[in-house]
Amino acid sequence: MIKRFLGATAVLLALAACGRSDPGLNQTGAQPDLPRINETLVPPMKIASPVGWDGETPVVPDGFVIAPLATDLQIPRQILVLPNGDILIAEGSGGHAPKVRPKDVIAGVIKAKGKSSVKGGNRITLLRDADGDGTPEVRTTFIDNLDAPYGMAFVDGALYVAEQGALLRFPYQPGQTRITTPGQELTRLPSAINHHWTKSLAASADGLTLYVGIGSNSNIGERGMAVEQDRAVVWAVDRQTGAHRTFVTGIRNPTALAIEPTTSALWAVVNERDELGPQLVPDYLTSVREGAFYGWPYSYWGKNLDPRVHPQDPDKVAQAIAPDYALGSHVAALGLSFVTDGGFGGGFGQGAFIGEHGSWNRQDLSGYKVTWVPFANGRPSGPPVDFATGFIKDGKARGRPVGVTFDPQRRILLVADDLSNTVWRIAPRP
Amino acid sequence: MAVGSVAFHAPFKALGGLLLAFPIALFSAALATDIAYLRTAEIQWSNFSAWLIVGALVFGGLVLAWALIDLALAWRRDTRRMAVVFAVLVALMWVLGLINAFKHSQDAWSSVGAFGLILSILSTVLALAAGWIAYSRVDVREIVR
């Protein structure tokens, strides 16, 4: 009998361990290799436990330097550079999903092992580095008492902040280092449960529309489809009136939105579903085409059926379109920034930087880096290139990239790291 | 059998019977909620199953410990054969229940599906069989005594 138990335990451990990926598969670009679905009783899990940077930094390509611009933040997520060069950092943690299954309790404990123990700031911090030497002269709490701020946009003299439950407008005077007046609520945002709580934000090129990315309320509908009303969508919000329309649907978790500068098209990075195996489903970068349905929850990468969803919906699956560009499975892309005005030049003149927070749902870690996707004529034009790495050392996580922002005025790239609570500044070597 | 031994055994048997009542009831209830989920695709039924199975495993684990102790005590007696059968049934029930708990941790339809239903049926049948043996055995012993 003891043997039977040991046998059963060994089987379960073996199931948990078979989450390694096949390095022969190409999981990036327009036509990623998609292996067969491999559901296991215990999903493959590998949490990189946090460890300090110890004076070291991420690794950047030759010709670039990297240094912390700010440390001791409170869970920095997204970054915005104001017209006067001031840098805003949204800090916070959201979500209030109840634990409705034993799994929710256990998974919460496991995933917390890979996160910072610092409490989210629920604020926006301002950094001013007027002389551009990489050491801010001013650091203030720009806006306080927010509710998990994430997306930010600056349009026509006003700052827009997407909290986890509302889109706010703050009037702004140039040079201001603190705003104490409460924001005007442009529109409420769906926030019940908030399994995926981040509300990403981008303004259209003409400034008339604010796009808000709203993630799904579950992995693939396991909280019931009733709570998925207005989830896994991008809203287009009229900047004047706050009226919204649903711009695209079935887009599981659009964690960052940005305007491609040569075409003015809206693009997004999107986190795809878990627990179909270490190499399903690739997270992606895609242009966001009005009216499109991206498959969630019924299908992935176009019309590949997810058998876990009942009742199924063949009509919806038939409409599902494949995204433009795969970034790799479970990389957890959370940051997107297109370069403008020639970027860093050379190989980094046209394209987008992408912050990859890193995986939990596979044995071999993926993500945990900042990558570069080259563009030509407004479309991806080649495989992704590692830009900032070294977030993992000896299997432990020193940092986890979130938002990335290219500042064309100073030609620097800013990277928010919500594990070491740092904002990194990457600049061409002087 | 000594009188003192009987006095010692009675509350011990009662405790075992109480503990065993839990997996019998909870695995059976989980089978019912699994069927309800598969008929309705209403996820709350599957959530109920998940908690019922965890409850069955917690008490089933205690029953298993009790079964192993009972087996050790009965090893040199004529009740050994039934003690072995009982322990094997409880062990199988618990292992299948554990696999089912993991099955129910999968998302949406995969949290039950055909495999989850089969596991629920098997663990329910094993719990009922273990109960049949345990509760019959108490009667037999009292007659012997």
Size of interface A-B (CB pairs under 8 A): 69
Yes or no, beta carbons of A8 and B54 under 8 Å apart: no
Q: How many domains does chain A have?
A: 1
The beta-carbon neighbor of B111 closest among A5, A12, A222 is A222
Residues B1-7 have a mean pLDDT of 43
Rounded distance between C-alpha atoms, residue A298 and residue B99, angstroms: 27
Yes or no, beta carbons of A311 and B44 under 8 Å apart: no
Token digits of residue A289: 């085409």
Q: Which residues of A32-60 are buried (b: 16+ CB within 10 A; e: fewer)?
A: bebeebebbbbbbbbbbebbebeeebbeb
Instruction: Specify the 3-state DSSP secondary structure of A258.
Output: strand
Contact by Cβ (8 Å): A322, A304: no
Degrees, nearest 5: CA angle A399-A405-A406 = 125
Within-domain flag for A370: yes
pLDDT of residue B2: 44
Q: What is the mean pLDDT of chain A?
A: 94
Is B100 an interface residue toward A (CB < 8 Å)?
Answer: no
Within-domain flag for A29: no
Examine residue A430 and say whether the peptide bond preceding it is cis (omega within 30 degrees of 0): no
Is B101 an interface residue toward A (CB < 8 Å)?
Answer: yes
Whichever domain contains A335, its CATH number is: 2.120.10.30
Q: How do residues A305-314 score in pLDDT, each as one tens digit?
A: 999 999 999 9
Task: Compute the nearest-CA separation of A281 from chain B (Å).
Answer: 15
For A388, the domain range is 51-428
The beta-carbon neighbor of A39 closest among B41, B54, B110 is B110
Element (H, E) at A13: helix A2-17
Within-domain flag for A38: no
The beta-carbon neighbor of B106 closest among A1, A8, A275 is A275
Q: How do residues A276-285 score in pLDDT, each as one tens digit?
A: 999 999 999 9
pLDDT of residue A19: 65
CB atoms within 10 A of CB A239: 20
Give the bridge partners for A378, in sequence order: none
Q: How do residues A225-259 score in pLDDT, each as one tens digit?
A: 999 999 999 999 999 999 999 999 999 999 999 99
Closest-CA residue to A367 (of A117, A135, A138, A114) = A114
Within-domain flag for A17: no
Q: What is the mean pLDDT of chain B?
A: 88
Yes or no, beta carbons of A102 and B101 under 8 Å apart: yes
CATH class of B3-144: mainly alpha
The beta-carbon neighbor of B47 closest among A5, A39, A101 is A101
**With 60 as the cut, is the pLDDT of residue B69 above it?**
yes
Closest-CA residue to A302 (of A284, A276, A328) = A284
Within-domain flag for A37: no
Within-domain flag for A22: no
The interface pTM score, or ipTM, of the predicted complex is 0.88
Domains of chain B, residue spans: 3-144
A-facing residues of B in 46-85 (CB < 8 A) are 47, 50-51, 54, 68
Is B95 an interface residue toward A (CB < 8 Å)?
Answer: yes
Rounded distance between C-alpha atoms, residue B82 and residue B78, angstroms: 9
Within-domain flag for A173: yes
Q: How do residues B22-44 score in pLDDT, each as one tens digit?
A: 999 999 999 999 999 999 999 99
Within-domain flag for A35: no
Q: How do residues A44-64 score in pLDDT, each as one tens digit?
A: 989 999 999 999 999 999 999
Yes or no, beta carbons of A219 and B107 under 8 Å apart: yes
Name the closest residue on chain A to residue B89, using Cα atoms. Answer: A1
Rounded distance between C-alpha atoms, residue A380 and residue A413, angstroms: 20
Q: What residues of chain A lie within 8 A of the CB of B117, using their CB?
A: none
Residues A104-123 have a mean pLDDT of 90
- Phi and psi for A201 in degrees, rounded to 5? -145, 140
**With 80 as the cut, is the pLDDT of residue B7 above it?**
no
Rounded distance between C-alpha atoms, residue B26 and residue A122, angstroms: 43
